[in-house]
Amino acid sequence: MRYFVNGEQQRKLLLNALVLMFLAYVFLLGISNAMMYFNHMAFTPASVITYYCGNEEQFIPAKSYEGMLEVLHFHLFAMGMLAVTLTHLMLMTEFSTSLKIWLSSLTFFSALADELAGWFVRFVHPFFAYFKIGAFLTLEFSLFALTLIVAWSLFRARVHILRKSDE
């Protein structure tokens, strides 16, 4: 009863609504990330190699060091903040600690791998195109899984609160 009288339920509803709106943005980020990927490349190593290393026959220039550095600079910060925010939200769920550790590690590793894979393709060896494809898919999967886990936990907690208020 105290929970309803002092307004805690209302504050929790507002916080849940803000988290759900954030998750909607993350979901849209995942979609736009996939759209950008497929606008430039496909799930073939040849398309990844062409995107990063260029193709003289098709008049596609290789990615420049400076251009890649500008993208990396922004993405390292943005992906780090996204990963820490999503994993922090997941830590507040009732899932097992081992799942939390596994998915948090996977998210941070895949975000970093996705950012560095293009560099490896461009400046180390084109064979890293396979790594780029795998890193992209793993990042998309981990972000989607985190989004679902947090959203599911919010809905589950809300159903639990509604059931308690009916009693």
pLDDT at 133 over 70: yes
CB burial of 111-134 (b: ≥16 within 10 Å; e: otherwise) equals bbbbbbbbbbbbeeebebbebbbb
Structural domain count, the chain: 1
Neighbours of 166 (CB within 10 A): 6
Encoding tokens for residue 106? 């996977």
Cα separation, 24 vs 30, in Å, equals: 10
Which pLDDT score is estimated for 33?
92
pLDDT score, position 139: 95
Distance CA 8, CA 12 (A): 6
How far apart (Å, rounded) are the C-alpha atoms in residues 112 and 139?
9
Per-residue pLDDT at 9 exceeds 80: no
Tell me, yes or no, if the pTM score tops 0.75: yes
Q: Give the phi and the psi of residue 44 in degrees, each rounded to 5.
A: -120, 140
| Percentage of the chain modeled with pLDDT above 70 | 87
**pLDDT for residue 58 is more than 50:** yes
**Domain span holding position 50:** 2-166
What confidence category does residue 43 fall into, taking pLDDT thresholds of 50, 70 and 90?
very high
* Higher pLDDT among residues 16 and 34, named by residue: 34
- Residue 14 is predicted with a pLDDT of 80
Query: What mean pLDDT is predicted for residues 32-52?
Result: 94
Higher pLDDT, 9 or 31: 31
**Size (the chain), residues:** 167
Residue 77 has pLDDT above 60, yes or no: yes
